[in-house]
Structure 1
Amino acid sequence: MQAMTLKSPGGLDQLSLKNIEPTVPGPGEVQVEVKASSLNFHDYAVVLGLLPTDDGRIPLSDGAGIVTAVGEGVSKFQVGDKVLSHFFPLWQDGRPNFERIQGVPGDNVDGFAAGSVTAAASTFSRMPRNLDFAEAATLTCAGLTAWRALMVETHLLPGDWVLVQGSGGVSVFALQFAKMIGCRVIATSSSDEKLERLKQLGADVLINYKQTPEWGDKVLELSGGHGADLVVEVGGSGTIAQSVRAVAFDGCISMIGVLTGISGEVPTAELFQKNARIHGITVGSQQHQADMIAAIEANDIHPVIDSRFELAKLADAFRLQESQQHFGKICVEI
């Protein structure tokens, strides 16, 4: 089979396609023919060397495919089952802790930029019945991150306000899940074209943050002074001040990304005056994924895919991600 490997210390020019032998599954393991993966900022950080990993690592945390062999003692899956990877193979349920967030594919261990992966059966869940492989492969990281922000760590009600930033994978999923439960959505972007597409997906209020740099005040104005009950924060230091301004009293800022920097000033006085909170989120548990899959099937939600690349063009896929010109998810079909 073919696999894309990364030479240390990293860089897009350090990706190379190699032929490797599939691994026969041992006790408790399954072998999966990988059909698709998708790109996340986490994968980009690994490939660039921002998150150092072993030399020769196979990247990509997300994977969807078909079970081709089953090891001794595995009853969860059979040959021919369609499966989806878990970002955290060790986090089955409950609250996160250090041990549960180890073993991330494409980082701590080899990932899904390969034709075949052999791993513990706990690495996989069933795949949503209503999605193709590429659509399913967008859920492992971005979809589940948005799900946890909206459905696990906050208590949103129909009519509540949700603010999403930009048009990347997490933000688009957050928009889709928010509309699914009847929330009102405020979307920000620097592109009027992308704002129009977000409107087509159901966004109720649109803000071009280049035209309105103080968009936190605009959120308060457009929500009748209420603010956003949940802010899905993907920017980090460059946007957190405006997010604090935009958040409602007793609201939540789900800190998911650091696209504009890893540290910065937080208006702490305004945050506690509003009795609001900032909550860091890294993906979710296997039980969260099972709940998300059930909701996706029940509501026939389909992820938004910007483009699909073959495995040999993985570096080009990352360059598109780097350009921030995409809308939704970038997939790799294997």
Structure 2
Amino acid sequence: MRTWQLNGYSIKELNIEDRPVPKINNKNDVIIKMQSASLNFRDLIMIDGGYGPTGGNIPFVPISDGAGVVTEIGDSVSKFSKGDIVTIPFFKDWDSGDIKQNTYLSALGGLENGVMQEYIAYSENKIVKSPNKWSCNEASTLPCAALTAWRTIVTEGKVNNKSIVLVQGLGGVSIFAIQIAKLFNAQVIATTSSDERVNLAKKFGADYVINYNKDKEWWKKVQDITDRKGVDIVVEVGGGETLEQSIKSSKVGAVIGIIGVLSGGNANLPIGRVIYKASRLIGITCGNQEELISMVDKFNESNVRPIIDSTFSFANLPEALKYMKTGKHLGKIVIDFDMV
């Protein structure tokens, strides 16, 4: 079977290898024919060696997020049938509760081989059925982007119909964050980089949108919108250059989910304001399998669908990664294994 393998820390070191198709070795195993994968910035960091040997031992199969179809089942499998579309959680061994130190050892696309292989053998207890009527391309966006947004807003933020949620940008996590917040009838304020994207953010469900290139001190606009009360939840993806404004935008006791560091990994933190506001700054590292199942159940009650920017073939994985590096995408970049 075709398998992408990283032989050195660079996109140039990606090669397609031929590996044997896995077999069922346990009565609770299933064989999944992988159909799709979706890219996250973490995949780029991993491939470029940003995490070093602690991220993954060369060689390994890259990319954490994917979906496929169950083609074989073990004798004791009861949760899935042939033909089911399933996705694999980002962390193989994070079933429920809070993350533990050893959880990181089970992240796919690094220390655990990722999804860029045509077949995978997996325990039925470690996979999740995709939302009803979602394609494999759509389901591949769930494990990292969607679940990161869910954990921030639902698990940590305890979102409800009185919540005000601030979402930065229109990347994969941010678009899901807008959609998830609206599932709970929360009010959403989004920030983005252009008037064109202002209109898109509103299309995705944002109630208010701020062009941060026009309003450099956008936290003041947030305070105006909220009648000086501030927001309950912040989906913080910018990092160094945005965290202070996120804190200024928030109300007392707000949850600030720190997800990304797109503008830098170091920030000048207004510690006095954090203390006064009793701000809860929480690092978000995806989510667990129990949360993934809850999210899928909620999606099945709604019309939520991922926003897919572009689709590349299996053979064009390097081109897809290079495109992600440009930062020009809006929503998710997907790899379709059957695309020619």
Contiguous gaps of at least 5 residues in structure 2: none
Per the alignment, residue 37 of structure 2 pairs with: 37
Q: Give 1:102 shift.
A: 2.9
Per the alignment, residue 25 of structure 2 pairs with: 26
Per the alignment, residue 46 of structure 2 pairs with: 46
Q: Say whether 1:232 aligns with 2:231.
A: no
Per the alignment, residue 62 of structure 2 pairs with: 59
Q: Give 1:70 shift.
A: 2.7
Per the alignment, residue 223 of structure 2 pairs with: 220
Per the alignment, residue 192 of structure 2 pairs with: 189
Q: Say whether 1:90 aligns with 2:93.
A: yes
1:71-110 matched pairs, under 5 angstroms = 71=74, 73-110=76-113
Q: SS state of the match for residue 260, structure 1?
A: coil
Q: SS state of the match for residue 305, structure 2?
A: coil
Q: Give 1:61 shift.
A: 0.7
Letter in 2 for 1:131: W
Q: Give 1:155 shift.
A: 2.1
TM-score scaled by length of structure 2: 0.94
Distance in 2 of aligned mates of 1:40 and 1:281: 15
Q: Say whether 1:244 aligns with 2:247.
A: yes
Distance in 2 of aligned mates of 1:137 and 1:326: 17
1:156-305 matched pairs, under 5 angstroms = 156-305=159-308
Distance in 2 of aligned mates of 1:137 and 1:107: 18
Equivalent pair of 1:194/1:327 in contact (CA under 8 Å): no
Per the alignment, residue 331 of structure 2 pairs with: 328
Distance in 2 of aligned mates of 1:140 and 1:50: 21
Q: SS state of the match for residue 64, structure 1?
A: strand
Q: Give 1:129 shift.
A: 1.2
Per the alignment, residue 123 of structure 2 pairs with: 120
Q: SS state of the match for residue 44, structure 2?
A: helix
Q: Give 1:2 shift.
A: 1.2
Deviations along 1:215-254, whole A, 9 cap, x unmatched? 1122111221111111100111121111111111221100
Q: SS state of the match for residue 63, structure 1?
A: strand
Equivalent pair of 1:90/1:122 in contact (CA under 8 Å): no
Letter in 1 for 2:22: T
Distance in 2 of aligned mates of 1:305 and 1:320: 14
Per the alignment, residue 12 of structure 2 pairs with: 13
- Greater mean deviation of Cα atoms: 93-102 or 257-266: 93-102
Distance in 2 of aligned mates of 1:170 and 1:295: 17
Distance in 1 of aligned mates of 2:41 and 2:126: 21
Deviations along 1:28-61, whole A, 9 cap, x unmatched? 4322100111001111111111123222211111
Q: Give 1:73 shift.
A: 4.1
Distance in 2 of aligned mates of 1:48 and 1:191: 30
Identity %: 35
Equivalent pair of 1:36/1:63 in contact (CA under 8 Å): yes
Q: SS state of the match for residue 159, structure 1?
A: coil
Q: SS state of the match for residue 252, structure 1?
A: strand
Q: SS state of the match for residue 102, structure 1?
A: helix
Q: SS state of the match for residue 109, structure 2?
A: coil
Q: Give 1:72 shift.
A: 5.3
Equivalent pair of 2:105/2:112 in contact (CA under 8 Å): no
Equivalent pair of 1:305/1:329 in contact (CA under 8 Å): yes
TM-score scaled by length of structure 1: 0.96
Distance in 1 of aligned mates of 2:5 and 2:198: 36
Equivalent pair of 2:166/2:188 in contact (CA under 8 Å): yes
Equivalent pair of 1:87/1:283 in contact (CA under 8 Å): yes
Distance in 2 of aligned mates of 1:184 and 1:295: 18
1:128-167 matched pairs, under 5 angstroms = 128-167=131-170
Distance in 2 of aligned mates of 1:222 and 1:76: 47
Q: SS state of the match for residue 249, structure 1?
A: strand
Q: Give 1:184 shift.
A: 1.1
Distance in 2 of aligned mates of 1:103 and 1:307: 28
Distance in 2 of aligned mates of 1:144 and 1:210: 29
Q: Runs in 1 of length 4+ with deviation above 6 angstroms?
A: none
Distance in 2 of aligned mates of 1:194 and 1:34: 33
